Amino acid sequence: MSLLQIHEPGQTPLPHAKKSIAVGIDLGTTNSLVAVSENNKPLVLRDAQGRGLVPSAVLYQAGSMHVGEVARAALQDHPERVVVSIKRLMGRGAEDVMRVADQLQYELDTSSGGMVRVKVGGRVLTPVEISGHILEELRGRAERTLNREVRQAVITVPAHFDDGARTATKDAAKLAGLQVLRLVNEPTAAALAYGLDKGAQGTYAVYDLGGGTFDVSVLRLEMGVFQVLATGGHVQLGGDDFDRAVAEHFLIDRTRMFGAEKLTSPDIRRAMAVARQAREHLTEHETGSWPLDLAGRLTWHSLDQATLNALIAPKVEQTIAIARGVLADAKLDAAELNGIVLVGGATRTPLVRRRVAEFFGRPPLTDIDPDEVVALGAALQAEALTRGSDALLLDVTPLSLGLETMGGLVEKVVPRNTPIPVSLAQEFTTYQDGQTAMAIHVLQGERELVSENRSLARFELHGIPPMTAGAARIRVLFSVDADGLLTVSAEEITTGTRQQVAVKPSYGLSDSEMAEMLRASIEHAKDDMTERLLREARVDAERLLLAIDGALRADGDLLADGERREIDRQMQELRRVMAGTDRTPILDGVDALNTATETFAARRMDRGIQQALAGVSVSALADRLVAGEGTRPPGAAK
Amino acid sequence: MAACWSCSGTVDRDGLFCESCGALQPPRLADHFARLGVPAAFDIAVPALERRYFELQRRIHPDRFAARLPNEREYSQQHAANLNDALQTLKSPVRRAEYLLALKGRPMRGSGQETVDDEEILVHAMEMREALAEAATPAAADAVVADARGQAERVTKELVTAFAANDLAGAARLTLRLKYLDKFVEDARERRRP
């Protein structure tokens, strides 16, 4: 047929390869989503059951892994094999994690220093790899649903995610085979979804309370340009904290009944899962009660909305205080805003909606599903970046960036809420006569003391000509690109000596670690496939051997001595190769044994027919057949 | 005007794109006023400045060059960073005044003249801070802040006149006063934060 295909000159036909498409991904603490936009119409991609949310949970089993509902369901029975809320560990160093260790439900491996690793289902994985597995699943869902290749994405991150967490997110995407077109702040993506749909103009606040992170941002929408005026938040504040408060409430109930219980981390995870069900139920209902099966004891716990509100009120008030601070940063009063956008599943909580409405003095906008609005905005941005669009997104630095100066103090170079991209320089000098080198310590945060801020990187500027203290002029340049990623360079002005670092946080992945992981993930994919094929071959062989054993016991007399010896030999040979790890001799052995037993099988069939004709009861024959079936190993039947 | 880096064609009036091949050009403009296309004067309308900023960002922002050549991406990054710096600098009267003084060869820092004025201004600032501390009610505190804002507006108007007359010494003094007033209003706002 291909001979009949005629093309226009200069046109290259690609009949099967549809053009690849860029997607928007909301990589959430609790749930993730993938969406795509065409002609400015964004759409969340759903599974066969119509579910758009993919739980950000990964189940690790020997030789396989599952992301999403399956993994979240497995949390109840195999919590030790499931990782949830991994976003909380993105870009975190072992030291950071120790600080919040009591809140974490993972088993951690901090022995290797630097980046923290999670022990799960017999594996030791970095948060980057685990997030990569979630992204891979989302990419797969998009490719299956759209029947197109997906290689590029806009991924959303909490507005005040620091440099380390942003870099970690980009690395995870790389592991999942995705090129990040742009990291977009979640509140910005939400405003994008609202703004473009409605052509809104004015100043908006976005209140985003997700599973593990809280953000509030003030944005101005004007002439199709989204400008972030101020942003703030908390990386460890979200719906998970509500769940924790509820779980603790339940566990205190049990302590009253049984005294102090010794609970394992899987127990606590189970309690958290039940607490989450309770909280979600109370969004729509006044009261309810839930079973908790821990340490071999089942208890029932009831909870009503008033008690839930009392339990979570401190956390809700914390979000309101942060919102107040961000408004002050934006130099705005609540009354000057044109609207409030709600984002994140936890904003369904009635107390949250009430307090937000009270604080901002108006009911929040909820037209778009708060779980989906961020992914929809990300999809719009992905389309804008690949296909072009009139909208433009101007973002700001979420946290101040600075340098350590004498006395352990921080000198801010780029204040928070500075529009990006930005390049700002500051001059420093030496403090000792004849000083020829200077340590540059890059920090992120709002505090005055070095020890209270996030350390991003350290490097040294050498080759400063010896001068009296204070005479040298060192110009340090901070450049933040449109993704919010930082590069720092230092230069001694009189001599032009220059050093530069792209800031890779000390607890992040080095390029070589990253390369190693990519290589390992590709090889493991191959290993996993080889392993599965080997197992299938072994199962087939085992099934054949069992069937022949049964046949020999029943009808072994049909064989001559020589024939019997040959079959025995072949069976022995097959059993020997089955113990090995090479699949080919097993397949060969199965073929050989099938050939060797052909005559035997034919004779057995003849005997069966003769016996049937000779008046053997049908039921006896059936019994024999059933016995034959029963020798098959469970699950091996095809 | 220099020729296009890519095709040696003519570069457009804004110095951004090549008129022949459309390639983005490296940043060449010398100062923030030129970058935002306004005359180098103190008296400028901020809303018009912002409109011009948005217009330019739309054309040169890195998001527009995600799929273009690496050097165009680099230029767009530089243009966008320059524009951000330009808007932040020119939007604020104090920073605009400081920047203009530096352009006119009379930078604020390090000249002896202001040290004398410093004392005058410091005394005034301390008096206002005392007034704020003594304010018994939130309304009284707001009145002190409103007074400072009024003073800042007057000083800004005087700056317009000083720059128009090219009285750089006077402008420098006024700039320093405005700086203290701004800082006072900012601190008062900060204090009201919980």
Q: Flag whether pLDDT at A505 surpasses 50.
A: no
Tell me if A419 and B87 make a contact (CB, 8 A cut-off). Answer: yes
* Domain end (from B42, B66, B99): B99
* Contact pairs from chain A to chain B, CB under 8 Å: 63
Q: What is the pLDDT of residues A316-341, one digit of tens each?
A: 999 999 999 899 888 888 888 988 99
Q: What H or E segment, with its residue span, contains residue B185?
A: helix B168-192
Task: Supply the pLDDT for residue A514.
Answer: 55
C-alpha span between A372 and A382 (Å, rounded): 15
Q: Domain check: are B133 and B172 in the same one? A: yes
Of B57, B63, B82, the CB nearest to A182: B63
Do B136 and B90 share a structural domain? Answer: no
DSSP strand pairing (A117-120 vs A82-83): unpaired
Domain span at residue B92 reads 32-99
Q: Does B119 touch chain A (CB under 8 A)?
A: no
**Is B173 among the domain residues?**
yes
Q: Is the dihedral of CA A45, A46, A51, A53 positive or negative?
A: negative
Q: What percent of chain A has pLDDT over 70?
A: 83
Contacts of A182 in chain B (CB under 8 A): 63, 66
pLDDT score for A485:
79
Percent of chain B at pLDDT exceeding 70: 92
Asked if B128 and B60 sit in the same domain, the reply is no
Q: Supply the pLDDT for residue A553.
A: 87
| Surface-to-core class of residue B166, CB atoms within 10 Å of its CB (0-12 exposed, 13-18 middle, 19+ buried) | exposed
pLDDT (0 to 100) of residue A633:
34
Predicted confidence band of residue A43 (pLDDT cuts 50, 70, 90): very high
For A14, the 3-state DSSP assignment is coil
Contact B80 A421 (CB under 8 A): yes
Instruction: Report pLDDT for B115.
Output: 52
The CATH number that applies at residue B75 is 1.10.287.110
Same domain, B86 and B133: no
β-pairing, A202-209 vs A339-343, is parallel
Q: Are A139 and A176 in contact (CB under 8 A)?
A: yes
Residue found under tokens 């999809």: A379
Whether B71 is covered by a domain: the verdict is yes
pLDDT of residue A528: 59
Measured between CB atoms, does B87 come within 8 Å of chain A?
yes
Q: How many domains does chain B have?
A: 2
Q: What is the mean pLDDT of chain A?
A: 81
Per-residue pLDDT of B106-148, as tens digits, reads 877 644 444 555 677 777 878 888 888 887 777 788 888 888 8
* Helix, strand, coil % in chain A, rounded to nearest 5: 45, 25, 30
Whether the Cβ atoms of residue A32 and residue A161 lie closer than 8 Å to each other? no
Residues of chain A contacting B, Cβ within 8 Å: 181-182, 222-225, 321, 324-325, 328, 331, 384-386, 390, 392-394, 418-424, 479, 481-482
Radius of gyration of chain A from Cα atoms? 32
Which of A14-23, A257-266, B76-85 has the highest average model confidence (pLDDT)?
B76-85
- Quick one: which of A102, A96, A89 has its CA closest to A128? A89
Percent of all residues in chain B with a pLDDT value above 90, rounded to a whole number: 31
For residues B86 and B114, membership in a common domain is answered with no
- The pLDDT-based confidence of A398 (bands split at 50, 70, 90) is confident
Which residues of chain B lie closer than 8 angstroms to A224, CB-CB? 58
CB A581 within 8 A of CB A532: no
Burial class (CB in 10 A: 0-12, 13-18, 19+), A518: middle
Contact B63 A386 (CB under 8 A): no
pLDDT at A515: 62
B61–A418 CB contact, under 8 Å: no
Residues B145 and B176 occupy one common structural domain: yes
Do residues B118 and B155 share a domain? yes
Give the pLDDT confidence of A47-87 residue by residue, as tens digits: 888 899 999 999 998 878 899 999 988 887 788 889 988 88
Tell me: do B167 and B127 sit in the same domain. Answer: yes
Buried (b) or exposed (e) across A63-86, using 16+ Cβ within 10 A? eebbbbeebbbbbeeebbbbbbbb
Report residue A11 CA to chain centroid gap. Answer: 41
Q: Which of A195, A211, A193 is closest to A203 using CA atoms?
A: A195
Please answer yes or no on whether A423 and B51 come within 8 Å at the CB atom. no
Residue B2 domain flag: no
Respond yes or no on whether ipTM tops 0.90: no
Question: Last residue of some domain: B62, B80, B99?
Answer: B99
pLDDT over threshold 90, residue A32 = yes
User: Inter-chain contact A394–B61, Cβ cutoff 8 Å?
Assistant: yes
Task: Extract the tokens encoding B9.
Answer: 């064609």
Mean pLDDT of A101-110: 63
Give the active site residues of A.
26, 87, 186, 208
Residue A43 CB-density burial (10 A; 0-12 exposed, 13-18 middle, 19+ buried): middle
DSSP secondary structure string for all residues of B26-80: PP---SHHHHTT--S-S---HHHHHHHHHHHHHHH-GGGGTTS-HHHHHHHHHHH
User: Looking at the domain assignment, is residue B8 inside a domain?
Assistant: no
Q: How far B165 CA sits from the closest chain A CA (Å)? A: 32
Q: Are the C-beta atoms of A379 and A372 separated by less than 8 Å?
A: no
Alpha helices in A47-175 (DSSP H): 69-77, 94-99, 127-146, 163-175
Higher per-residue pLDDT: A567 or B120: A567
Higher pLDDT among residues A3 and A361, named by residue = A361
pLDDT given for residue A360 in this prediction: 93
- Residue B4 located in a structural domain: no
Domains of chain A: 22-238+312-394 (3.30.420.40), 401-509 (2.60.34.10), 515-630 (1.20.1270.10)
pLDDT score for A258: 87
Whether residue B20 is contained in a domain is answered as: no
**Residues 6+ positions from A56 with CB-CB distance below 8 Å:** A27, A28, A29, A30, A31, A32, A84, A85, A86, A87, A134, A211
Cis peptide before A421 (omega within 30 of 0): yes
pTM comes to 0.65
Question: B118: domain CATH number?
Answer: 1.20.1280.20
Residue B21 in any domain: the answer is no
A67 backbone dihedrals φ, ψ, rounded to 5°: -115, 140
- Quick one: B116 and B186 in the same domain? yes
A132, A509 Cβ separation under 8 angstroms: no
Domain boundary at B41, B68, B99, which? B99
Catalogue the E-assigned strands of A189-279: 202-209, 214-222, 225-234
pLDDT value for A444: 83
